[in-house]
Structure 1
Amino acid sequence: MFNNVTIVGVGLISGSFALALKDKGYAKKIIGVSRTKASTDKAIELGIIDEALPLEEAVRQSDFIYVAIPVDATIPVMKQIMNLVTDKQIIADAGSTKFVLCNSLADHPMRKRFVATHPMWGTEYSGPEAAVRGAFKDRSCVICEKEKSDEDAVSLVEKIYKSLGMHIAYMDPENHDIHAAYVSHISHITSFALANTVLEKEKEEDAIFELAGGGFESTVRLAKSSPAMWAPIFMQNKENVLDVLNEHISQLRKFKSCLEKENYEYLVELMENANKITRIIK
């Protein structure tokens, strides 16, 4: 049980995490920090946080600080937080990229109180209204550089995530960012690109969305995701995302070539090979 927990960012991930902490009895009081008063007012209204405070004041009052904001803002905010904390406090983040963050904090004297995490869950929605209960159940959470964090800090963060129903995986930051590019980042780029493709066509054919079914909706739903969150992720993980994007473009060209050359057999082969994804997604 923490007396006070601060969540920096009061949106989808942090809001869902705050609700989980309350439901599990981990926090007597949750303090919210956000750039906008509208966000913290809504978070208070929804029962996500109990109070809103400026960052420095919130950190000084808290036992545990959880940071879930766009990754480009995370580094300066994390440095500010780590300049304030003592060895009695614990900090964790929920960022989708890890290498740049971990590298930037490597030499900070309070690095040992920081646990670098990435709960692998999210939706296309954002803001306090997007927070939901039971969000993390049966999902994976990656912890990076476990060896660089104090044992008590890691143990407590692991306990929290496990109690939320998450499976813990351990990776170095470089491998995390490579894997995240394949299983998360490319999905969002593809969805944004497909939405733009259809929107261009829709200029010519107003009726196109009347034909959109469940398959279309499930494929492009990620295109509703926040650009303020995803553009920094793509840029921080640029090299890995470019590698995956090049492979994806190569695969698209194979399908294009099959159609141009009327190569039915290879077209079927490509799709049958794709069916093997059932090993990963049931």
Structure 2
Amino acid sequence: MKNVAVIGLGLMGGSLALELKKSTWATIYGIDKNPEHLQKAVDLGIIFEKVDIEKVKEVDTVILAAPVNVIPELALQVLDRIGDDTLVFDVGSTKTMVCDAVRNHPKRKNFVALHPIAGTEFSGPEAAIYDLFKGKVNIICEQQLSESRILEKAVKLFELLKMRNVFMDSPVQHDKHIAYVSHLSHISSFMLGKTVLEIENDEKNIFDMAGSGFASTVRLAKSNPNTWTPILLQNKEYVLKSLEEYIKNLNQFKEVLTKNSEEEVYQIMQNTNRIKGVLAGIKNN
């Protein structure tokens, strides 16, 4: 890997650029529709040079780190321009639409649909950090449609970043599962923040009384709406299903609390405590 074009210079694209500069000494070129992001990425040393999309003809790796509503069309534009040996991958939180978009492209073999499950609540080039991906999981979808040598290049790249690669044949299954374990978490955090802001007219009370539990639960509500609005809309089918289940459980808890059923309140929380074992098992894998 010698020359890399990163399209989208926010948290994910910027952090990948930093890591690849450090670990491969690749020359990183930046593309972003926001001129302020481009300049900031240059100023911070995240990229070597600002370029336009025609630069992808000259690089060996292209990273699509734009919002998910932009990625499908962007992927087609990039695949139209690249050479036969170029790796192209996206890092979007939804996979079905981009996989559908590129499925019949003559250079589909150059594309790897993947999702590094990593991030923070911050955005923009300033949010880019080292070690964002270390110890995290990277999901690769439809690996059978990527040429073996191109796929191997992507796999080794994320192993270099100390990620664990997991393969899923179906992008639909990816989107279904990620709706529960990621997208619902963001909605829950946003709605908790919204509820508290609406109830607590005096914002000073929030800061005076908020403990670490509130702070950690509402952390994701600081995420960029420009990023998350298209994610939730693009994965609407499975997000709505996850919301229905979540709302059902909230209503159930409300009912047992209303009737002052100590045993049922306790039992719901006790049964849910097994999540500790589930998460511990995931962490140890």
TM-score range, shorter chain: over 0.9
Aligned 1:101-250 pairs, distance under 5 A? 101-171=98-168, 172-203=170-201, 206-250=204-248
Q: Deviations over 1:134-193 (max 9, x none)?
A: 111110000000000011110010001011110111111011111111110000000011
Aligned 1:23-34 pairs, distance under 5 A? 23-27=22-26, 29-34=27-32
Deviation of 1:40 (Å): 1.1
SS at match of 1:72: coil
> Scaled by the length of structure 1, what TM-score is found?
0.96
Q: 1:72 is matched with which residue? A: 69
Q: 1:52 aligns with which of 34, 43, 50?
A: 50
> CA 1:16/1:118 → structure 2, altered by over 3 Å: closer, same or farther?
same
Unaligned runs of 5+ in 1: none
**RMSD between superposed Cα atoms in Å:** 1.1
Name the CA distance, whole Å, in 2 between partners of 1:247 and 1:26. 47
Name the CA distance, whole Å, in 2 between partners of 1:156 and 1:46. 28
Name the CA distance, whole Å, in 2 between partners of 1:266 and 1:205. 34
Partner amino acid for 1:200? E
Q: 2:15 is matched with which residue? A: 16
Deviation of 1:26 (Å): 5.0
Q: Deviations over 1:200-236 (max 9, x none)?
A: 0122675233101111000001001011111111111
Name the CA distance, whole Å, in 2 between partners of 1:49 and 1:97. 26
Q: 2:283 is matched with which residue? A: none
Deviation of 1:3 (Å): 2.5
> Scaled by the length of structure 2, what TM-score is found?
0.95
Percent of aligned positions with the same letter in both sequences?
Answer: 43
SS at match of 2:132: coil
Runs of 4+ in 1 over 6 A off after TM superposition: none
Q: Deviations over 1:101-135 (max 9, x none)?
A: 10111111111100001000011000011111011
Q: Deviations over 1:256-275 (max 9, x none)?
A: 01111001101000001111
Name the CA distance, whole Å, in 2 between partners of 1:11 and 1:43. 9
The answer to whether structure 1 residue 92 and structure 2 residue 85 are counterparts is no
Name the CA distance, whole Å, in 2 between partners of 1:73 and 1:246. 28
Name the CA distance, whole Å, in 1 between partners of 2:97 and 2:40. 32
Deviation of 1:86 (Å): 2.0
Partner amino acid for 1:69? A
Name the CA distance, whole Å, in 1 between partners of 2:206 and 2:158. 43
Name the CA distance, whole Å, in 1 between partners of 2:60 and 2:272. 47
Name the CA distance, whole Å, in 2 between partners of 1:278 and 1:68. 32
